[in-house]
Amino acid sequence: MTVAKDLLYRRSHEWARTEGDTVVVGISHYAQDQLGEVVYVELPDVGTAVNTGDELGTLESVKAVSEFLTPIGGEVIEVNERLEDNPNLVNEDPYGEGWLVKIKGSVEGEKLLDAGAYQEFLEEESG
Amino acid sequence: MSGSDQIEKTPLYDEHVAAGGRMVEFAGFELPVQYTSLTEEHEAVRNRAGLFDVSHMGEIAIRGPGAFAFVQLVSCNDHSKMTVGRAQYTGLMYPEGTFVDDILVHKMADDDYLLVVNAANRHKDFAYLSDLARDHDGVEVVDLSDDYAQIALQGPLAAEILQPLTPQDLSEIKYYRFLTAEVAGAPALLARTGYTGEDGFEVYVDPAAAVDVWRAILAEGRPKGVQPAGLGARDTLRFEAGMCLYGNDIDETTTPLEAGLAWIVKLAKGDFIGRDVLELQKDEGLERLLVGFEMVDRGIARHGYPVMLDEDGEPGGIVTSGTHSPTLGKALGMTYLPIETATVGSEFFVKIRNRMARARVVELPFYSRKKK
């Protein structure tokens, strides 16, 4: 299970990457593995204002429905429209092409885990 | 009654864990929902073959000189034309004409029938049948569930893979027939039945032999792309094939006619439990019917989601089964619709997380294999 080094993580398995005044959000490799092959993605409307921890959308595999939450507060400024036709990008490249939304905001002050702490958290969780 | 509250393990539990199976509780058993990937396992069964541990299924014997009459009494199908070695699908009926369970009846001998029942219904079915049998002479009801492990090999390559493991010529076993034969050295009940919409076999063996048989089939099949398959794939496979799941699509509130199973309702065979209700439904027409549908709007309809008959939110029922079909690549579902709207092409709505998504009735089954 890979944990990308340069990202920050929520305990609910979303990641955040700062790009200027924007934060890109996706789900971790572990999260996509737990969910199985993603067949449907529901993303928020651009312009939606969100607070930390709000539900951003849903990811569905054949078997399960899973909500994903926002690691930061701000305004949704872009969603990954490629996922509508290629939802499996979330499985194939969860830290890259399978990103979910971009939010105008900052990770400043958010309680997020760095890669090392997230890795430890995963190890604790899988017991 | 024992064991109904605690979680049981099948004889193949350790095999599942060793193979990386993701174990979940199902009908009182710990079983793998998947090993590697649900869609991969699903695809293996459609194109090659998959191996399922279905040891959780219940087996109940009806024996004695009164066995035939008793089976005819509790079942809506007609078993009078069955010869020894035949299996038949049917509904175990309440007086209301609704399902106690949906089961497979195997005729072992003129005075011996083996009922294969849903795991979740095993104790309920046994109690129901035992109660009824008290008023009938010459009928013995025996719960044999703990005497059988059941392994299902399903898929187009099933016969080819199983053949080297048994002295029995498998081409002699036609669809819905069974016989006793050795499989991987173990005495087995070998039936050409299944719950996937593919050709395949269900192999009933002594629990002590289950691991050897499981390993032998996998060893034979691995080079041909066979893999173990979990409950997740079992559900999507039966769903695509339009087969009902007890507890979802059929239950104690639905009749076989409403479920589109008129072919298992044989009113002409004489009296049976629930017959008058089914006859009335047949004469006066149904009020509702189980239909298949596909989503027109984006979204996946799932079990329990509310169905609306129009945009104003006129309540229908619920989605009884629904998922993204791995074979057909689209979101499909089943629901009961009022009979006047239960026709192919008619549209309604499914409420998906506070959104009304349009759906359209399509033919069942969604998928049927190409017959050779």
**Counts of helices then strands in chain B (DSSP H, E):** 8, 20
User: Phi and psi for B222 in degrees, rounded to 5?
Assistant: -50, -50
- Domain assignment present for residue B247? The answer is no
Contacts of A83 in chain B (CB under 8 A): none
* More confidently predicted of A1 and B12: B12
Which residue among B118, B145, B172 closes a domain?
B145
Q: What is the pTM of this model?
A: 0.94
Q: Which of B205, B240, B275 is the last residue of a domain?
A: B240
Sequential pLDDT tens for chain B (372 residues): 444 568 999 999 999 999 999 999 999 999 999 999 999 999 999 999 999 999 999 999 999 999 999 999 999 999 999 999 999 999 999 999 999 999 999 999 999 999 999 999 999 999 999 999 999 999 999 999 999 999 999 999 999 999 999 999 999 999 999 999 999 999 999 999 999 999 999 999 999 999 999 999 999 999 999 999 999 999 999 999 999 999 999 999 999 999 999 999 999 999 999 999 999 999 999 999 999 999 999 999 999 999 999 999 899 999 999 999 999 999 999 999 999 999 999 999 999 998 999 999 999 999 999 765
Q: Is residue B116 in a domain?
A: yes
Is residue B121 within 8 A of residue B59, CB to CB? The reply is no
Whether residues B135 and B65 share a domain: the answer is: yes
* CB–CB contact A65 B300 (8 Å): yes
CATH of the domain at B103: 3.30.70.1400
Residues of A in contact with B297 (CB under 8 A): none
H/E segment holding residue A26: strand A22-27
Q: What is the distance between the alpha carbons of residues B307 and B192, in angstroms, rounded to a whole number?
A: 37
Domain count, chain B: 3
Measure CB to CB from residue B324 to each of A39, A58, A84 and give the nearest one.
Answer: A39
pLDDT tens figures, A85-124:
999 999 999 999 999 999 999 999 999 999 999 999 999 9
**B209 lies in the same domain as B316:** no
Instruction: Specify whether B292 is located in the same domain as B337.
Output: yes
Instruction: Specify whether B41 is located in the same domain as B158.
Output: yes
**Are B163 and B16 within one domain?**
yes
Strand spans (E) along B80-177: 87-93, 99-109, 112-117, 140-143, 149-154
Query: Quick one: B37 and B154 in the same domain?
Result: yes
- Is B259 within a domain? no
Model confidence pLDDT, tens digit, residues A63-91: 899 999 999 999 999 999 999 999 999 99
Whether the CB-CB separation of A106 and A4 falls below 8 Å is answered with no
Instruction: List CB contacts (< 8 A) between A63 and chain B.
Output: 33-34, 38, 232, 323
B326, B301: one domain? yes
Quote the minimal CA–CA distance from A119 to chain B in Å: 21
- B31 contacts in chain A (CB < 8 Å): none
Residue B246 lies in a domain: no
Pick the CATH number of A8-109 from 3.90.180.10, 2.40.240.20, 2.40.50.100, 3.30.70.260: 2.40.50.100
Asked whether residue B273 is assigned to any structural domain, the reply reads no
Q: How many CB pairs under 8 A join A and B?
A: 37
- What is the spatial distance between Cα B71 and Cα B79, in angstroms, rounded to a whole number? 8
Alpha carbon of A44 to those of A76, B205, B302: distances in Å?
8, 52, 21
Same domain, B219 and B347: no
Distance CA A13, CA A112 (A): 10
Is some CB atom of chain A closer than 8 A to the CB atom of B34?
Answer: yes
Q: Inspect the interface and report whether the beta carbons of B33 and A58 lie closer than 8 Å.
A: no
Task: Dump pLDDT digits (tens) for B129-163.
Answer: 999 999 999 999 999 999 999 999 999 999 999 99
Pair B36, B112 in one domain = no
CATH value at residue B306: 2.40.30.110
Range of the domain at B358: 287-362
The reported pLDDT for the residue numbered B364 is 97
Instruction: Give me A89's structure tokens.
Output: 């990008």
Closest-CA residue to B68 (of B104, B112, B101): B112
**Interchain CB distance below 8 Å, A40 and B302:** no
B168 and B219 housed in the same domain = yes
Per the domain annotation, does B249 fall within a domain?
Answer: no
Q: Are B170 and B103 in the same domain?
A: no
Residues of A whose CB is below 8 A from B353:
42, 58
Instruction: State which of B91, B110, B145 marks the end of a domain.
Output: B145
B323 to chain A: nearest residue by CA? A62
Shared domain check, B156 and B50 = yes
